[in-house]
Amino acid sequence: MPQTHIRPDVVALLADVDWHGRRDEPPHRRDGRPFTLAEQRLLSTITPEEGAAARQQIRRENEWLDEVDAMRDDFVALVRKYLARLPKNAVVADAIQIMTDEDYAEYERLVPIVTAQDTLEYRATHGNSTEHLTGPTED
């Protein structure tokens, strides 16, 4: 069975399309920026395999977002547990000071994850080991 060639740049573009936009407008990115004419032309050349790869990437990103949302909930619950023990005007720094070593370690683990703005920032914080986000790579 011949191997198909999947162009990562096409997959990345396709995964960034705002599918909720109006059909009578040129495609644009999820952040609202329009694709350039060259990018629009490139999008028109996608293969079925690239479309499938983009759908997989979107699914993985959604799973990652769900995972981060759950970690944010855990983070808030952890901090609230300690804020509840403090006076009304207490701040997170006050809560950190009374955390157990175990809870502080969990706080330290969660902070960079729940405060990351996007996947790239998460990757920068946690290194390049992102197989759980993007799946295994083939050479």
Task: Dump pLDDT digits (tens) for 88-112.
Answer: 999 999 999 999 999 999 999 999 8
Residue 22 tokens read as: 């109006």
Q: How far apart are CA 95 and CA 115, in angstroms?
A: 18
pLDDT given at position 126: 59
The pTM (predicted TM-score) of the whole model is 0.63
Structure tokens at 117: 């703005």
**Per-residue pLDDT tens for 32-72?**
899 999 998 999 999 999 999 999 999 998 898 898 889 99
The one-letter code for the residue type at 105 is: A
Total residues belonging to the chain:
139
CB 116 within 8 A of CB 125: yes
The partner residues of 29 in beta bridges, in order of sequence, read: 17
Residue type, 68: V
Domain boundaries, the chain: 8-127
